[in-house]
Amino acid sequence: MLSSTADNLYWLARYMERADFLARAIEASRRLAALPKAYGGADSEWESVLLSSGASSAFEATGKPVNESNVIEFLTFSRDNPGSIRNCIEFARTNARAVRTALTVEMWEAINGAYLELKAMEARRGAYSSDELGRFLEFVKQTSLTYDGGAYRTMLRNDAYWFSRVGLFVERADNTARLLDVKYHVLLPEKELVGGSLDYFQWSAILRAVSAHTAYHWVYRTSMKPWLVADLLILRPEMPRSLISCYESIVRNLDNLARAHGRQGAAQRQARSTYGKLETLTMENVFQGGLHEFVQSFISENNKLGALISEQYLF
Amino acid sequence: MDLRVTQFDEMGGADGATRFPYQKLAQWLAGVPTELLASRREQAELLFRRIGITFAVYGAQEATERLIPFDILPRIIARSEWSALERGLVQRVTALNLFLKDIYGAGEILRAGKVPAELVYGNPGYCPEMAGRRVPHDVFVHIAGVDIVRTDDHGFYVLEDNARTPSGVSYMLENREVMMRLFPDLFAMHRVAPIEDYPDELLATLRSVAPPRAGHDPTIALMTPGQYNSAYYEHSFLADKLGVELVEGRDLFVKDDIVYMRTTEGPRRVDVIYRRIDDDFLDPLTFRPDSALGVAGLMGAYHAGNVTLANAVGTGVADDKAMYTYMPDIIRFYLGEEPLLQNVPTWRCREPESLRYVLDHLDELVVKEVNGSGGYGMLVGPHASKAQIEEFRAKLKANPDNFIAQPTLALSTCPISVAQGIAPRHVDLRPFVLQGAHGVRVVPGGLTRVAMTEKSLVVNSSQGGGTKDTWVIDDAIMGAA
Domain ranges of chain B: 20-211+307-344+425-478, 346-408
Give B426 to chain A, closest Cα distance, Å. Answer: 32
Asked if the B346-408 domain carries CATH number 3.20.10.10, the reply is no
Question: B52 touching A, CB under 8 A?
Answer: yes
Identify each DSSP E strand in B238-282 by its residue range.
Answer: 245-247, 252-255, 258-263, 266-269, 272-275
Let me know: does B218 contact B271? Beta carbons within 8 Å. Answer: yes
The answer on pLDDT for A17 being more than 80 is yes
Helix or strand (DSSP H, E) at B279: none
The per-residue pLDDT for A141 is 95
The per-residue pLDDT for B373 is 61
Residue A207, C-beta contacts closer than 8 angstroms, at least 6 positions apart? A213, A215, A216, A224, A229, A232
Distance CA B175, CA B467 (A): 8
pLDDT tens, position by position, B48-81:
877 766 666 544 444 456 778 999 999 999 999 9
Output B140 or A198, whichever has higher pLDDT.
B140
Chain B residues lying within 8 Å of A4, measured CB to CB? 248, 250-251, 262
Let me know: does A168 contact A188? Beta carbons within 8 Å. Answer: no
Nearest Cα to Cα of residue A197 among A78, A38, A19, A60: A38
Mean of the pLDDT values across residues B150-161?
A: 88
Q: How confident is the model at residue A232 (pLDDT cuts 50, 70, 90)?
A: very high
Helix or strand (DSSP H, E) at A139: helix A130-154
Max mean pLDDT among A45-54, B11-20, B201-210, B311-320 falls in B201-210
The residue type of A40 is: G
The answer on pLDDT for B329 being more than 70 is yes
Residue B87, C-beta contacts closer than 8 angstroms, at least 6 positions apart? B340
The answer on pLDDT for A139 being more than 90 is yes
pLDDT tens, position by position, B27-46:
999 999 989 999 999 999 88
Helix or strand (DSSP H, E) at A271: helix A266-280
Angstrom CA distances, B38 to B113, B177, B297, stand at 57, 19, 54
Let me know: does A17 contact A145? Beta carbons within 8 Å. Answer: no
Find residue B272's DSSP bridge partners.
B220, B308
The answer on pLDDT for B383 being more than 90 is no
The per-residue pLDDT for A155 is 95
Output B251 or B290, whichever has higher pLDDT.
B251
Give A160 to chain B, closest Cα distance, Å. Answer: 11
Give B458 to chain A, closest Cα distance, Å. Answer: 29
Give B246 to chain A, closest Cα distance, Å. Answer: 8
| Interface contact A2-B261, CB threshold 8 A | yes
First to last CA, chain A: 11
Q: Sign of dihedral through CA atoms A41, A45, A48, A49?
A: positive
Give the helix ranges, DSSP H, for B143-290: 169-182, 184-189, 198-208, 232-242
Let me know: does B246 contact B235? Beta carbons within 8 Å. Answer: yes
Name the DSSP letter for residue B248.
-
Let me know: does A1 contact A160? Beta carbons within 8 Å. Answer: yes
| Interface contact A257-B264, CB threshold 8 A | yes
- Chain A interface, best mutation among B265, B269, B274, B295, by max A CB count within 10 A: B265
pLDDT tens, position by position, B160-212:
999 998 999 999 999 999 999 999 999 999 999 999 999 999 999 999 999 99
Residue B116, C-beta contacts closer than 8 angstroms, at least 6 positions apart? B110
The residue type of B346 is: T
Q: How confident is the model at residue B3 (pLDDT cuts 50, 70, 90)?
A: very low
Output A188 or B275, whichever has higher pLDDT.
B275
Output A302 or B151, whichever has higher pLDDT.
A302
From A2, A94, A314, residue closest to B247, measured CB to CB: A2
Identify each DSSP E strand in B291-412 by its residue range.
Answer: 308-310, 342-343, 347-348, 365-369, 378-380, 403-407
From B52, B232, B263, residue closest to A3, measured CB to CB: B263
Find residue B70's DSSP bridge partners.
B467
Distance CA B233, CA A136 (A): 29
Name the DSSP letter for residue B215.
T
Q: How confident is the model at residue B372 (pLDDT cuts 50, 70, 90)?
A: low
Give the distance, in angstroms, between the CA of residue A228 and the centroid of all CA atoms in the same chain: 20
Residues present in chain B in total: 481
3-state SS of B24-85?
HHHHHHHCCCHHHHHHHHHHHHHHHHHHCCEEECCCCCCCCEEECCEEEEEEEEEHHHHHHH
The per-residue pLDDT for A309 is 96
Instruction: State ipTM.
Output: 0.78
Nearest Cα to Cα of residue B41 among B331, B376, B420, B364: B420
Q: How confident is the model at residue B446 (pLDDT cuts 50, 70, 90)?
A: very high
pLDDT tens, position by position, A176-202:
998 888 777 765 555 666 667 777 888
Give A299 to chain B, closest Cα distance, Å. Answer: 26
The per-residue pLDDT for B398 is 92
Distance CA A19, CA A226 (A): 26
The per-residue pLDDT for B57 is 52
pLDDT tens, position by position, A59-88:
999 999 998 889 999 999 999 899 999 999
Residues 221-280 of B with CB under 8 A from A: 226-227, 232, 236-237, 239-240, 245-248, 250-251, 261-265
Name the DSSP letter for residue B68.
P
Let me know: does A309 contact A166? Beta carbons within 8 Å. Answer: yes
**Residues of chain B with pLDDT > 90: what percent?**
67
Angle value at C-alpha A32, between A27 and A35, nearest 5 degrees:
130
Helix or strand (DSSP H, E) at B440: strand B439-442
